[in-house]
């Protein structure tokens, strides 16, 4: 199980604006401290986290943060409409479009996805594969 994912950011304030534009709508709580931003889904007392935490931090070595070539982080939305709404909110908060919301021929018939880059250049996917919604072929 993946416990956490961390991305580097040179401008934490800008990164906070971007990630706070959509992560709270997916249920993530934000804890902010001098070490950066920590987004986590709520966990009941005594329970073990099921999903990975997501951290946005300055680099540990003090060099500029860079995006990983081929790296992408995907967040699951509850519906196709939520993918569209969160993609728009993330773009309005400083993201860069890497693929408008929609179906992709290379994925399953219910996989609805959008792609964007955060202000640091990290690639983010927002997707829904809700089987109750119309699929690519229907």
pLDDT tens, per residue, the chain with 138 residues = 789 999 999 999 999 999 999 999 999 999 999 899 999 999 999 998 889 999 999 999 999 999 988 999 999 999 999 999 999 999 999 999 999 999 998 999 999 999 999 999 999 999 999 999 999 886
Report in angstroms the alpha-carbon separations of 105 from 69, 101, 109, 136, 137: 23, 13, 8, 8, 10
Set out the domains of the chain in order of their start, with CATH numbers.
4-59+72-128 (3.10.180.10)
Angle at Cα 115 formed by Cα 113 and Cα 120, nearest 5°?
A: 155
Do the strands 72-76 and 123-128 form a parallel or antiparallel pair, or are they unpaired?
parallel
Hunting for tokens 């007392």 — which residue is that?
45
Q: Give me the pLDDT at residue 138, please.
A: 65
Judge contact between 18 and 118, C-beta under 8 A.
yes
CA 7 to chain centre: 11
Q: How many CB atoms lie within 10 A of CB 72?
A: 13
| pLDDT score at 105 | 87
Q: What angle do CA 60, 49, 90 make, to 5 degrees?
A: 60
Measured distance CA(19)–CA(37) in Å, rounded: 10
pTM higher than the cut 0.85: yes
Using the Cα atoms of residue 47, residue 51, residue 57 and residue 61 in order, give the sign of their dihedral: positive
**Per-state percent for the chain, helix, strand, coil, to nearest 5:** 15, 35, 50
């Amino acid at each position: 199980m993946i416990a956490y994912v961390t991305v580097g950011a040179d401008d934490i304030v800008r990164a906070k604006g971007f990630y706070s534009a959509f992560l709270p709508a997916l249920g993530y709580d934000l804890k902010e401290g001098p070490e950066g931003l920590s987004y986590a889904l709520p966990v009941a007392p005594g329970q073990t986290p099921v999903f990975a935490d997501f951290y946005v931090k300055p680099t540990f070595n003090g060099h500029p943060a860079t995006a990983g070539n081929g790296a992408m982080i995907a967040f699951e939305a509850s519906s196709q409409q939520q993918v569209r709404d969160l993609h728009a909110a993330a773009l309005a908060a400083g993201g860069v479009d890497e693929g408008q919301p929609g179906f992709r021929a290379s994925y399953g018939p219910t996989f609805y996805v959008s792609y964007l880059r955060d202000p640091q250049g990290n690639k983010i996917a927002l997707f829904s594969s809700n089987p109750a919604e119309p699929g690519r072929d229907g």
